[in-house]
């Protein structure tokens, strides 16, 4: 019996060990000399050899300009590892950190996981409004505290198979969701219970077709001024969920689409359904163009902004923006040197342009967007235009990071499979869930 009791201690022990972990420092005062010799550890999430090479080249350019600073880059870091390391603190942790999840900025800023950049920005005299567009500035701060800066950005648009369009007699990419539905149905060719070709995979498991990416086309307001969920009050949410549910029905129903989705290859591999011609249109980020062309798909790829609701046709051209963010570890003893690296990588036009050229992302600064040194496929300009569009937007940050988006996504799964009769009531329930989760995180 005692042996069994001892076995039971294992899960409890694990939890307790994490619960009693050392408390990280949240101080942001930096007294190190940025001119002194220093070695910085930079944690990032890139893993592909071409991306790692690009970041190392960027670091080499920085080290050339700052010969007193050496940077040791560590790739393949996700947000979970990052959070755990920052919470553990200690001198062996990173000095400069980055994340792909802009939605987690609220958690990074509010918890103190990332150092406050305000004093550094003030000391450097950096004019943020002149340097970055509003959505990028929005997703790198939370409740007035700026704890990150954008490092390149991602813009989302519509990819379409031009050959399939010609075959179906469609001349132009759709501009409104109503047109989009017609085009998606027209492009769909059934084969028994399945599909020979699907016009568009609307399901929320269709890789980038997540609620936040769709919702940006309605320009929603996620939270009220007092921080409460606004999803039941802003009609954008009901409109988006209703539209998506109807499109699922028009394209053959949830079960058929889910089954077809299971025949798709990996999102990041050569057998992506857009590359293979299994779907004729795809909502995706700017990176898809390079990835798709690299597989020589055998059809001409077209690129356009995502459609908008009919009553917002004036804002056609906008899209969802996100990107990589960079911050400083609060436990770093070399914060001034860390700021030099962060400032260089996020605001130096040459650094941003070179990095954007290398990994085919959208540059994050206004100057880099207009730089003549920016090399891109003519179709890539669509994404640069989306990045510049005044109505382009992003999802709001929250104190508990992506948790509220998980609630929106879970609600979406229920809606698309037909388990929700009253979308408005469901939104009200989900809003309560979001508010409770946020209250618990405060």
Partner 1 sequence: MTAYTLRAKRRRSALRTAAFLSPWLIGFAVFFAYPLVSTVYFSFMKYDGFGAPTWNSTANWRYVLGSYTMFWPALRNTLWLVLVMVTCRVAFGLGVGLLITKIRTGAGVFRTLFYLPYLAPPVAATLAFVFLLNPGTGPVNSALEGMGLTAPGWFTEPGWSKPALTMLAVWGVGDLMVIFMAALLDVPKEQYEAAELDGANSWQRFRFVTLPNISPIVLFAVVTGVIQTMQYYTQPIVASKVASGIIGGSGQQFEPGYPEKSTLTLPQVVYNLGFQRFDYGSACVVALVLFALAMACTALLMRRSGGLVGAGER
Residues that bind partner 1 (CB under 8 A): 1, 4-13, 15-21, 23-24, 26, 78, 80, 83-84, 87-88, 100, 107, 111-113, 154, 156, 205, 207-208, 210, 212-213, 258-264, 266-268, 285, 320, 322, 400-403, 405-407, 409-410, 413, 433, 436-437, 440-441
How far, in Å, are 45, 279, 331, 339, 349 from residue 123 at the CA level? 29, 51, 20, 11, 20
Closest separation between CB of residue 387 and partner 1, Å?
A: 14
Query: Reduced to 3 states, what is the DSSP secondary structure of residue 313?
Result: helix
Please give the Cα distance from 162 to 152 (Å, whole number): 29
Closest separation between CB of residue 366 and partner 1, Å?
A: 22
Closest separation between CB of residue 123 and partner 1, Å?
A: 24
Using the minimum distance from each CB to partner 1, give the nearer residue, 11 or 169: 11
DSSP 119-174: HHHHHHT--HHHHS-HHHHHTTEETTEE--EEEEEEEEEEEEEHHHHHHTT--S--
Nearest to 320 by CA among 307, 338, 336, 333: 307
Per DSSP, what are the bridge partners of residue 308?
176
Using the minimum distance from each CB to partner 1, give the nearer residue, 138 or 340: 138
Using the minimum distance from each CB to partner 1, give the nearer residue, 107 or 334: 107
Q: What is the per-residue burial (b if ≥16 Cβ within 10 Å, else e) of 103-133?
A: bbbbbbbbbbbbbbbeebbeeeebeeeebbb
User: Do 44 and 346 touch, CB atoms closer than 8 A?
Assistant: no
Using the minimum distance from each CB to partner 1, give the nearer residue, 120 or 264: 264
Closest separation between CB of residue 300 and partner 1, Å?
A: 25
389: number of Cβ within 10 Å: 19
Using the minimum distance from each CB to partner 1, give the nearer residue, 216 or 349: 216
Give 215's contacts (C-beta < 8 A, 6+ positions apart). Answer: 236, 237, 240, 320, 395
Closest separation between CB of residue 24 and partner 1, Å?
A: 6
Using the minimum distance from each CB to partner 1, give the nearer residue, 9 or 36: 9
Structure tokens at 152: 């390149």
Q: What is the DSSP letter of 112?
A: T
Closest separation between CB of residue 114 and partner 1, Å?
A: 11
User: Do 320 and 155 touch, CB atoms closer than 8 A?
Assistant: yes
Using the minimum distance from each CB to partner 1, give the nearer residue, 337 or 362: 362
Closest separation between CB of residue 7 and partner 1, Å?
A: 6
Closest separation between CB of residue 212 and partner 1, Å?
A: 6
Using the minimum distance from each CB to partner 1, give the nearer residue, 162 or 205: 205
């Amino acid at each position: 019996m005692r042996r069994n009791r001892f076995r039971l201690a294992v899960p409890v022990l694990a939890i307790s060990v994490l619960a009693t972990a050392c408390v990280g420092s949240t101080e942001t005062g930096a007294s190190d000399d940025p001119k002194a010799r220093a070695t910085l550890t930079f944690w990032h999430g890139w893993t592909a050899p071409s991306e790692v090479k690009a970041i190392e080249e960027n670091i080499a350019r920085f080290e050339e300009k700052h010969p007193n600073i050496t940077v040791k880059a560590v790739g393949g870091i996700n947000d979970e590892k990052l959070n755990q390391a920052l919470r553990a603190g200690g001198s062996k942790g990173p000095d400069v950190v980055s994340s792909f999840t802009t939605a987690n900025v609220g958690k990074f800023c509010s918890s103190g996981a990332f150092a406050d950049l305000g004093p550094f920005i003030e000391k450097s005299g950096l004019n943020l409004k002149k340097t970055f567009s509003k959505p990028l500035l929005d997703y790198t701060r939370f409740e007035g505290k700026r704890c990150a800066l954008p490092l390149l950005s991602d813009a989302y648009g519509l990819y379409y198979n031009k050959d399939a369009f010609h075959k179906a007699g469609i001349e132009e990419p759709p501009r409104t969701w109503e047109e989009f539905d017609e085009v998606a149905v027209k492009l769909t060719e059934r084969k028994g219970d399945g599909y020979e070709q699907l016009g568009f995979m609307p399901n929320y498991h269709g890789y980038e077709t997540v609620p936040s990416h769709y919702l940006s086309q309605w320009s929603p307001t996620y939270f009220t001024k007092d921080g409460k969920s606004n999803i039941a009050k802003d009609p954008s949410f009901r409109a988006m969920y209703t539209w998506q549910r109807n499109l699922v029905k028009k394209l053959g129903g949830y079960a058929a689409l889910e089954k077809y989705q299971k025949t798709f290859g990996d999102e990041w591999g050569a057998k992506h359904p857009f590359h293979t011609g299994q779907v004729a249109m795809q909502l995706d980020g700017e990176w898809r163009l390079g990835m798709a062309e690299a597989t020589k798909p055998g059809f001409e790829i077209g690129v356009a902004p995502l459609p908008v609701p009919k009553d917002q046709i004036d804002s056609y051209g906008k899209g969802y923006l996100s990107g990589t963010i960079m911050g400083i570890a609060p436990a770093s003893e070399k914060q001034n040197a860390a700021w030099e690296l962060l400032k260089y990588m996020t605001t130096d036009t040459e650094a941003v342009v070179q990095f954007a050229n290398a990994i085919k992302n959208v540059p994050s600064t206004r100057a880099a967007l207009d730089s003549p040194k920016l090399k891109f496929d003519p179709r890539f300009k669509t994404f640069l235009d989306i990045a510049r569009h005044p109505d382009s937007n992003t999802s709001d940050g929250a104190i508990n990071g992506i948790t509220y988006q998980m609630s929106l996504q879970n609600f979406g799964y229920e809606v698309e499979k037909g388990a929700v009769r009253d979308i408005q009531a469901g939104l009200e329930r989900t809003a309560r869930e979001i508010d409770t989760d946020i209250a618990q995180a405060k």
